[in-house]
Amino acid sequence: MFQPVSSKVNFSELEQRIIGFWQEKRVFERSVEQRLGGPSYVLYDGPPTANASPGIHHVLARVFKDVFPRYKTMKGYYAPRRAGWDTHGLPVELEVERELGLKSKREIEEYGIAEFNSRCRKNVLKYVKDWEKLTDRIGFWIDMKHPYVTFDNGYIETCWWIIKSLWDKGLIYQSYRVTPHCPRCGTSLSSHEVALGYDEADDPSIYIKFKIKPSSVETTPLELFFNKFLSKPVYLLAWTTTPWTLPGNTALAVAPDADYSVMEGKNDYLIMASALVNKVGFEGYREVAGVKGSEIAGKGKGLRYEPLFDPHRFGVERRGFRKNLLVVQEADENLDYPVITADFVSMEDGTGIVHTAPAFGEVDFEAGGDNDLDFVRDYVDLQGMIQGTYPFAGEFVKDADPMILDDLKSRGLLYRSERIRHTYPFCWRCNTPLLYYAKPSWYIKTTAMKDRLISGNAEINWYPEYIKYGRFGDWLNNNVDWAFSRERYWGTPLPVWRCESCKHDECIGSVKELRQKKGVEGVDKLSDLHRPYVDGVTYSCLKCGGEMRRVPEVIDCWFDSGAMPFAQWHYPFESQHLFKASFPADYICEAVDQTRGWFYSLHALSTLVTGQPCFRNVICLGHILDQAGEKMSKSKKNVVKPEDVLSTSGADAVRWYMYTSSPPGNVRRFSKELVEEVVRKFLLTLWNTYSFFVTYANIDKFDPGTVANVEHRPELDRWILSELNQLKDSVTRALDEYDATGAGRKIEEFVDNLSNWYVRRSRRRFWKSENDVDKQSAYTTLYQCLITLAKLIAPLTPFIAEELYQNLVRPFDKDAPESIHLTDYPLADLSQVDEKLSTAINLVVKVTSLGRAARAKSNLKVRQPLAKVLVKVRTEDEKASLEQMASQVLDELNVKVLSVVESLPVEQHPDWPAVEEGGLLVMVDTEISQELLDEGLVRELVHRIQTLRKQAGFDIADHIETYYEGGPSVKRVMERFAQYVKQETLSRRLVEEKPPEGAFSKSQVIDGNKVNLAVKKS
């Protein structure tokens, strides 16, 4: 006997029970262990951060990470998989800052880095329990008991080892670059982060006059005017929206090929681009000369001008720009403020003369490098406060803007001042306006390996494929060196020590190496490699004997996660064999935003360290939106919590939805309702088939041991077995190609065929069949379908698969493995595939479904027989096989005649409802004769009587008497089809009169007519 199966099932409860079973029996661990010695299959788990509860997008990634290792395990692969936690980084720090109410880096340092970091350490594992619970709940099998954690000393030490090996190859350097800098958070933002924070801003829009040194005119074609110029000052007119950068100005840029006009006014001359003269507007000025941009620019020639704010007067250093080192320039009257040419000068707005401050803009910085410009930066500190002795010192840069305007105005250097609304980048975390700021930063020279990064990518299989040469390929083609240092606290410390005296730098690759340094102090008590402890380790400079101290930076947390192939094993310090056995990974999977995050950092580090890519296959998941296609966000209150769906529909339903609703790379919508639809459409269809089987198998005392004894199965059984073996074949192929969507959809089709064709057309074979052989064939066929199906779906929906297996297989086979997840994946038996038969019946199924759709268009009841159905097929073979199976079509569609044609003049029957799909057209004749009408009526009456029997609570085998009162048509058909009605309803008599006392009666409306029907036990 099978355990009875109720058609009312609570999947969520069933799953909880199965989780308990797996844990008790250590099924996951055993599924891995028993394959030891098999070919290996490696998953790298992209580590999440556990400082918040997991969301539905994490569920998406985790179920995709789960399905292929499960599948490979059933295929005989040894697939241990280990979870990881990403624990460092700014988001973690910001959370702690919020909790402690700290507002700046200064406040963090006053609070104490040690205490601050210990808070970060605690916070980052705060939600590990939630993550573990969710992981169990969704059936994601991964070792969470021995995870790798990026804050472990061993993990950090491997990161040091990697950095050192890159250092030895000359791939690490420090350089000044302009980076978007948040003055509140005190650190640079990546370009990806900047993109998150653009907003409207109201800023000054000002035209400023830069006074030309008269002597510089001599080297230009304007020499002719030289004497005139002595009588009135000459200015270059520039435009800016960031007045606070003006003290940093060290050059003005012009477009070399553009024309510039000299405008003479009452008191001065102004020079600007001719093309923009009218746009700016010059009342009281007239053009007196013209000149090309290239003629007023250049080193040693061209115009030079006086600085608006000479840094030396305000106690600020001006530095030279030499080979990434900023050399301090001595104060000198003759320091140059030149005009340069640049290709970024716009003729769309401004004046065609661009104020250039190399410390505060990316293009300015590049121009500085190209033109060997000087560099004034230090009047703004990293908090954005003005330093030095300027009248506006002590102000935040944006607050200094109006004071700078006043100052320029008072000196007659402000031509015009307006306001402008434009987009400006703000910090996406704290909403502070970002400053573009030249800072020293540490770089990994990824560009040195660019070709190998690109050729390595060619060896990787991307799903979807277009990411490979699209998003990811583009990213590699436009590769820039990786700015990997962060001026923060909670991160892997950058292992570079610098001599305080002679500035000699050394990179340290291990704790042991540090310990062996001459004169080392503070390393013995170093039980935590984080700041501030590591900062206390000093040693003697081998060049000069000075004190070596660690530089203050920590590293980008993307470096940590990208280092996981090595660092998860503390390679090369221990477990070398574990690293080797798991490199490269067969499979990784994360969301598409990781092309620039984890996918990149993994690929870059592996290529730089080993020369090889470290993953072979990658699924790149699209984002999840709400039901309406909107982004989920807390403010919109449209976030779906995983628990809410898991507790109602269950994990299998969520998994199935994730796999089959759309290919993994697509954006997908998600809601409780969409998952409930999966339950209805797929899981319950499967469950009801299973429940049907168990119910009748128990009644008939079916013994699964007799499976092999059935020969000469009927056509219907051969067909479904043929379908089953084709299914095994196509599902295996799809999963081998990392196509869970294709596999799932094939399975869905099969389950639909099994339930809505095989079982429905076989129903009477199970409960009425007198023919033992036929009955046995039906049972064994359905049984075989169900147990095979359970195995096929096991990697996708592991819970329901286990449930079926435990009831259908385990009690009857003492040698069967204890769990379905310890069994082998089914192999297709292609000898059972009868393609001709499959094609033929699939055609019948298709035609029937199109026929039903055509019927539905006419709003006729299914019970109303119709005269004719016309099918236009595509080939002669289709015609032949459809004609051979005509009875099935007629039966299913409740039609009298089937006519199959290869070409069909539609205009012949313009009124017949028709449905077409892929060249297959089905139309039905909806003209109903009196004969058909009567037949429809009698079928309707039978249906109503049967319903009454059920409502009256009669047993299925009880004989009855039926009483009826209705119009003449009811009387006519009851008399004419009396035999049929009696047989179908087990009525001994059909009586046209009022029902007697005690009869179960209900008045009915049939086709608008009132009919009284009553039944009574006979």
Active site residues: 47, 86, 558, 594, 598, 631, 634
Q: Are 211 and 233 in contact (CB under 8 A)?
A: yes
Of the candidate residues 230, 420, 544, 827, the single one contacting Zn ion (CB under 5 A): 544
Of the candidate residues 184, 531, 603, 939, the single one contacting Zn ion (CB under 5 A): 184
The site map against Zn ion for 374-413 (x = CB under 5 A) is ----------------------------------------
* DSSP element (H, E) containing 978: helix 978-985
Q: Are 785 and 715 in contact (CB under 8 A)?
A: no
Q: Which is nearer to Zn ion, 182 or 645 (CB)?
A: 182
Q: Which stretch binds Zn ion (CB under 5 A): 140-148, 275-283, 316-324, 537-545?
A: 537-545
Q: Which is nearer to Zn ion, 501 or 647 (CB)?
A: 501
Q: Which stretch binds Zn ion (CB under 5 A): 165-173, 453-461, 503-511, 812-820?
A: 503-511
Q: Which is nearer to Zn ion, 188 or 926 (CB)?
A: 188
Q: Does 102 bind Zn ion (CB under 5 A)?
A: no
Q: Which is nearer to Zn ion, 473 or 546 (CB)?
A: 546
Map the footprint of Zn ion across residues 202-221, applying CB under 5 A: none
Question: CB under 8 Å to 561, separation ≥6 — which residues?
Answer: 46, 47, 84, 86, 150, 598, 601, 602
The site map against Zn ion for 103-122 (x = CB under 5 A) is --------------------
Of the candidate residues 67, 156, 185, 904, the single one contacting Zn ion (CB under 5 A): 185
Cα gap 590→770, rounded to integer Å: 56
Cα gap 722→836, rounded to integer Å: 10
Q: Which is nearer to Zn ion, 431 or 455 (CB)?
A: 431
Q: SS3 for 583?
A: coil
* DSSP element (H, E) containing 606: helix 598-610
Crossing angle of helices 56-74/128-137, nearest 10°?
A: 50
Question: CB under 8 Å to 474, separation ≥6 — which residues?
Answer: none
**Residue environment code for 486-499, b if the CB has 16+ CB neighbours within 10 A, otherwise e:** bbbbbbbbbbbbbb
Q: Which stretch binds Zn ion (CB under 5 A): 177-185, 474-482, 532-540, 565-573?
A: 177-185
Q: Which is nearer to Zn ion, 97 or 374 (CB)?
A: 97
Q: Which stretch binds Zn ion (CB under 5 A): 263-271, 427-435, 627-635, 866-874?
A: 427-435
Q: Which is nearer to Zn ion, 185 or 754 (CB)?
A: 185
Phi then psi for residue 796, to 5 deg, are -90, -50
Cα gap 221→301, rounded to integer Å: 11
Q: Are 465 and 209 in contact (CB under 8 A)?
A: no
Q: Which stretch binds Zn ion (CB under 5 A): 160-168, 175-183, 337-345, 796-804?
A: 175-183
Of the candidate residues 60, 427, 435, 449, the single one contacting Zn ion (CB under 5 A): 427
Q: Does 543 bind Zn ion (CB under 5 A)?
A: yes
Q: Are 669 and 57 in contact (CB under 8 A)?
A: no
Cα gap 361→410, rounded to integer Å: 27
Instruction: Output the smallest distance, CB 182 to Zn ion, in A.
Output: 3
Q: Which is nearer to Zn ion, 126 or 543 (CB)?
A: 543
- Bridge partners (DSSP) of residue 668 are 624
- Bridge partners (DSSP) of residue 328 are 319
Q: Which is nearer to Zn ion, 93 or 481 (CB)?
A: 93
The site map against Zn ion for 549-588 (x = CB under 5 A) is ----------------------------------------
Question: CB under 8 Å to 81, separation ≥6 — which residues?
Answer: 32, 42, 43, 45, 69, 141, 142, 143
Q: Does 280 bind Zn ion (CB under 5 A)?
A: no
The DSSP result for 327-369, as a single string, is EEEPP-TT---BEEE-TT--SSSTTSEEEE-TTS-HHHHHHHH
Instruction: Output the smallest distance, CB 498 to Zn ion, in A.
Output: 9
Of the candidate residues 430, 448, 710, 837, the single one contacting Zn ion (CB under 5 A): 430
Q: Are 251 and 356 in contact (CB under 8 A)?
A: yes
Select from 177, 746, 708, 218 the least CA-distant residue to 437: 177
Alpha helices in 700-831 (DSSP H): 715-736, 740-753, 760-767, 772-793, 798-808
Largest Cα–Cα separation, the chain:
131
Instruction: Output the smallest distance, CB 383 to Zn ion, in A.
Output: 11
Q: Which stretch binds Zn ion (CB under 5 A): 542-550, 679-687, 758-766, 821-829?
A: 542-550
Q: Which is nearer to Zn ion, 183 or 936 (CB)?
A: 183
Q: Which stretch binds Zn ion (CB under 5 A): 95-103, 201-209, 422-430, 958-966?
A: 422-430
Instruction: Output the smallest distance, CB 504 to Zn ion, in A.
Output: 5
Q: Which is nearer to Zn ion, 21 or 424 (CB)?
A: 424
Q: Which two tokens stand for residue 755?
A: 């339930």
Phi then psi for residue 965, to 5 deg, are -140, 125
* Site residue total, Zn ion (CB under 5 A): 15
Is the Cα dihedral 402, 403, 408, 411 positive or negative?
A: positive
Q: Are 978 and 990 in contact (CB under 8 A)?
A: yes
Question: CB under 8 Å to 163, separation ≥6 — which residues?
Answer: 172, 494, 495, 507, 509, 555
Instruction: Output the smallest distance, CB 249 to Zn ion, in A.
Output: 27
Crossing angle of helices 772-793/684-699, nearest 10°?
A: 140
Cα gap 779→785, rounded to integer Å: 10
Phi then psi for residue 1008, to 5 deg, are 85, -5
DSSP state of 282: -
Of the candidate residues 172, 182, 254, 297, the single one contacting Zn ion (CB under 5 A): 182
Q: Which is nearer to Zn ion, 184 or 949 (CB)?
A: 184
Q: Does 504 bind Zn ion (CB under 5 A)?
A: yes
Q: Which is nearer to Zn ion, 504 or 1002 (CB)?
A: 504
Q: Does 541 bind Zn ion (CB under 5 A)?
A: yes
Q: Which stretch binds Zn ion (CB under 5 A): 185-193, 308-316, 706-714, 730-738?
A: 185-193
Cα gap 51→90, rounded to integer Å: 12
DSSP-based helix, strand, coil % in the chain, nearest 5? 45, 20, 35
Crossing angle of helices 930-952/968-976, nearest 10°?
A: 90
The site map against Zn ion for 596-635 (x = CB under 5 A) is ----------------------------------------
Map the footprint of Zn ion across residues 472-501, applying CB under 5 A: 499, 501
Alpha helices in 380-519 (DSSP H): 397-410, 450-458, 466-469, 471-477, 511-515
Instruction: Output the smallest distance, CB 97 to Zn ion, in A.
Output: 10
Of the candidate residues 391, 536, 546, 704, the single one contacting Zn ion (CB under 5 A): 546
Q: Which residues of the shown chain bind Zn ion in the complex (CB under 5 A)?
A: 182, 184-185, 427, 429-430, 432, 499, 501-502, 504, 541, 543-544, 546
